[in-house]
Structure 1
Amino acid sequence: MKKQTTISNKNTSGQKYLGDRGLLIFLVFLSAFAPLSTDLYLPALPTMTAYFNVPEYLTNLTLILFFIFFSAGILVWGPLSDKYGRRPILLVGITGYAIASLLCAVSGSIYQLIFFRVLQAIGGGSASAVATAIVKDVYHERQREKTLALVQSMVIIVPAVAPVIGALLLTFTSWRGVFIIQALLGLIILLGSIIFQESIAHRGSGNILHTLGRLGVVLKNPGFTSLLIIFSLSSISGLAFISSSSYIYQNDFGTSSQVYSYFFAFNALAMLLGPLIYIKLSNHFKRFSIINLCFGITILSGLAIILFGQSNPFIFALALFPATLAGSCSRPPSAYLMLDQQPEDAGSASSLMGSFATIMGSLGMIIISFNMDHLIPVIGGLNIILGLLSGGLWLAVTKTPLLRKIREA
């Protein structure tokens, strides 16, 4: 109870209409835009492939290109929000997202759908670019880290139920109805953006090119960039699973779309628990030690997937659970540490964090698209390789004078 007073008992956010709790809910939906735009229609992927009578890789392009252009949009929206403010960027971007979602619903071919998904991605990128920047605008020190953890925990609830809702929608509507739901969600977030009060205290100056150039300034910060690379790598295995999950459960294991959604929700439970577990662990252990533990668990989970994951869907889900839990647990401290390395240009820093994670995730989806006959071993192998690579880089970087203080944090 007493730990909630810093966030809930008085209006520390400065939001007249949203208030503290309203701002948290608003941040949850902004942060969940990417999973909302993918997980809700994941159960429909095999159906869409059959509907358009196209190869699976073409249907997967609606996912892959979404993430690529989502990351590109993030890179633009973030610096612009430092110059023009968070609220105007949200109003423009979310409006574009809602319109593009409707266009997806009326697509006449897979190529039209791919194109409209690109437009949807660019607009939706504004939400992710601004969400983390708002957290840095409003919260400070330990309160910022707790807010990041709380937001990331609650974010998981939305995409966790999205495949279940998507599967239910498919029982009485087509995949087109799923995109109409996304358009409605866009309108809801647009209403929240209208009543949201500007959070940035000092706006950037200079022309647009100068504003976008701040991305390069942030990247020149070796402390920020080294952590950015290390913690973005985990998105490769995470998005590889998400993009292939419907094929693994429905095609490889022969489950229905409804049963698949339950397995997906079980995996999402690990994402939900991770940040909550981190909040508890951080009261007793250093961030450095918790992150080390997360890398170790990821490696062991990958090994379990390779050895036992192909036997049945229940064992595969259980083997994957620890890797998902570890990846989710490491997100609050990694986000906090990256933001702590960059005192200024919060929008640009937030953009780079979201964009790099999305780019790496897109790489994971590309890797899995070329290994559709060996999905489960590839998922396990990616967790092992990336756990070793990220963990090794993490230990090496934190030994340097620049980031040595992280060991004590």
Structure 2
Amino acid sequence: MADSKVQPKMGNTGFIIFLAFLSAFVPLSTDLYLPALPEMTTFFAVPEIVMNLTLILFFVFYSIATLFWGPLSDRYGRRPILLVGLTLYMLASILCEIAANAYEIIIFRIFQAIGGGVATTVATAVIKDVFVGRKQETTLAIVQSMVVISPAVVPVIGSLLLTFISWRGIFFAQALLGLSVIYGAVIFKETHASQRGTISVMKSFGRLGALLTNPGFTALLVNFSLISIVSLSYISSSSYIFQNTFHLSSRVFSLFFSFNAIGMLLGPLVYIPLSKYIDRFTIIYASFGITIIAGILVLVFGQMTPVAFALTQFPATLASSAVRPPGTYLVLKQEENDNGSASALYSAGGTIFGSIGMVIVSVAEATPVAAIAWINIVMGAICALLLLVSMTFLRKKIVV
């Protein structure tokens, strides 16, 4: 079905852009204020780990929230759930702006995470509602390519904003983002019929457990969630590495961060043409291998200069991003029903494991570059091994 028929008020391009904005809520909610983290740490006179909690707890509660929004969107429909969650996100962003101390920001960021958790889950579910087969995988790749433009552009915008406004203005910008996406949700045409009269709320949440009893779904869910440790550990530590370890300004940091974010953009874009000629599993295994090699390069050369660190980390960023489209497709392919619940578990899995990576680099704040290197090496090897084991022992239970 043509996208213009699915969303008459948005049209084809508007629909894809709307899905991209929803899918980009995590980077838009974190990368915009990354350049301000060291400034906020100084402003509130708290240890780095305290201010890092605004990131870590955001990802933790974001992942928890997706587990609620997904089943609820299956029961009540995508549109009403979007409107509720996005409104909460916008209000929490305003509260972050007027917070009096670091601990209030941590609390309001938790509410921001809960509201924002609706976005990625519903976006992925809508794609699965509307598209099938190769078109579904291609759309996932296109949307995710647009999503990762934000890590390349948003930190630069954030650092530029900091030259004119304080860190409080960053949260006002996030509130405006929430308002703009709320408008998209208002004109969004529902893609999933409500099951309010046919299934109870508790039974909707029970589908989460039912999905996890599918060995193929669970194996691939864990596998492709683990790789998010690579990207989120880098994102959470990058501002401290470039500004504190290499003593760069917030503006120069944003340029280095944007360079590495180009790898996030290129990953899905490279995957689309390659997948026409190369089996998706070959691409996935190659990506895991590249992540390992990048980790070794970071360990050997990355601690010398900021340029060396950015260049050696770049392959890992590109490779972990290239895994996202086929990984998402394969996980969701294991379950043809309960799109919202399946999307929720996938979003939550990636965020939960990514938060573990953020904790690791926070604990290893004395040697953050080495921590990033070992995360690349270990996670690349674990993911490759787990996928090989899963495909060997669950071949008949995994749909490809």
Q: State the TM-score, normalized to the length of structure 2.
A: 0.98
Pairwise CA distance, 1:128: 1.1
Instruction: Please give the per-residue CA displacement for 1:178-228, whole angstroms capped at 9, x wherever unaligned.
Output: 000000000000000000000114636322111111100111111111000
Q: How far apart, CA to CA, are the structure 2 residues paired with 1:223 and 1:187?
A: 39
The yes-or-no answer on 1:345 pairing with 2:338 is yes
The equivalent residue for 1:51 is 43
The yes-or-no answer on 1:203 pairing with 2:223 is no
The yes-or-no answer on 1:238 pairing with 2:231 is yes
The yes-or-no answer on 1:99 pairing with 2:91 is yes
The yes-or-no answer on 1:301 pairing with 2:290 is no
For residue 40 of structure 1, give the secondary structure of its aligned residue in structure 2. Answer: helix
Aligned-pair Cα RMSD in Å? 1.3
The equivalent residue for 2:303 is 310
For residue 393 of structure 2, give the secondary structure of its aligned residue in structure 1. Answer: coil
The equivalent residue for 1:379 is 372
The yes-or-no answer on 1:166 pairing with 2:154 is no
The yes-or-no answer on 1:145 pairing with 2:137 is yes
Q: How far apart, CA to CA, are the structure 2 residues paired with 1:11 and 1:146?
A: 14
Q: How far apart, CA to CA, are the structure 2 residues paired with 1:202 and 1:77?
A: 14
Q: How far apart, CA to CA, are the structure 2 residues paired with 1:401 and 1:110?
A: 47
Pairwise CA distance, 1:158: 2.1
Pairwise CA distance, 1:402: 3.5
What is the identity, as a one-letter code, of the residue corresponding to 2:152?
A: A
CA contact (8 A) 1:298 1:327 kept: yes
Pairwise CA distance, 1:20: 1.5
The yes-or-no answer on 1:217 pairing with 2:213 is no
Identity %: 54
Q: 2:268 aligns with which of 255, 258, 275?
A: 275
Unaligned runs of 5+ in 1: 1-5
CA contact (8 A) 1:233 1:360 kept: yes
Q: How far apart, CA to CA, are the structure 2 residues paired with 1:11 and 1:309?
A: 45
What is the identity, as a one-letter code, of the residue corresponding to 1:28?
A: A
The equivalent residue for 1:3 is none
1:358-373 superposed matches below 5 A: 358-373=351-366
Q: How far apart, CA to CA, are the structure 2 residues paired with 1:285 and 1:221?
A: 28
What is the identity, as a one-letter code, of the residue corresponding to 1:31?
A: S
The equivalent residue for 2:285 is 292
CA contact (8 A) 1:32 1:159 kept: no
Pairwise CA distance, 1:159: 2.7
Q: How far apart, CA to CA, are the structure 2 residues paired with 1:12 and 1:293?
A: 37
CA contact (8 A) 2:151 2:257 kept: no
Q: How far apart, CA to CA, are the structure 2 residues paired with 1:51 and 1:252?
A: 20
CA contact (8 A) 2:146 2:265 kept: yes
The yes-or-no answer on 1:132 pairing with 2:132 is no
Q: 1:84 aligns with which of 60, 76, 87?
A: 76
Q: 1:17 aligns with which of 9, 20, 29?
A: 9
Q: How far apart, CA to CA, are the structure 2 residues paired with 1:135 and 1:100?
A: 27
Pairwise CA distance, 1:330: 0.9
Instruction: Please give the per-residue CA displacement for 1:157-178, whole angstroms capped at 9, x wherever unaligned.
Output: 1232110000001001100000
The yes-or-no answer on 1:183 pairing with 2:179 is no
Q: How far apart, CA to CA, are the structure 2 residues paired with 1:255 and 1:288?
A: 40
CA contact (8 A) 1:397 1:403 kept: no
Pairwise CA distance, 1:403: 4.9
CA contact (8 A) 2:217 2:335 kept: yes
Q: How far apart, CA to CA, are the structure 2 residues paired with 1:313 and 1:71?
A: 32
CA contact (8 A) 1:236 1:362 kept: yes
The equivalent residue for 1:67 is 59
Structure 1 stretch 317-326 or stretch 196-205: which is displaced more? 196-205
Q: How far apart, CA to CA, are the structure 2 residues paired with 1:95 and 1:329?
A: 32
Question: Structure 1 residues 230, 95: closer, same or farther in 2, change over 3 A?
Answer: same
Pairwise CA distance, 1:16: 1.1
Q: 2:31 aligns with which of 39, 42, 67?
A: 39
Q: How far apart, CA to CA, are the structure 2 residues paired with 1:403 and 1:66?
A: 38
Q: How far apart, CA to CA, are the structure 1 residues paired with 2:335 and 2:107?
A: 35
Q: How far apart, CA to CA, are the structure 2 residues paired with 1:234 and 1:289?
A: 16
Unaligned runs of 5+ in 2: none
The yes-or-no answer on 1:265 pairing with 2:261 is no
CA contact (8 A) 2:334 2:398 kept: no
Q: State the TM-score, normalized to the length of structure 1.
A: 0.95
Q: How far apart, CA to CA, are the structure 1 residues paired with 2:362 and 2:32?
A: 20
Pairwise CA distance, 1:401: 4.5
What is the identity, as a one-letter code, of the residue corresponding to 2:62?
A: F
Pairwise CA distance, 1:13: 5.3
Q: How far apart, CA to CA, are the structure 2 residues paired with 1:12 and 1:289?
A: 35
Q: How far apart, CA to CA, are the structure 1 residues paired with 2:239 and 2:247?
A: 10
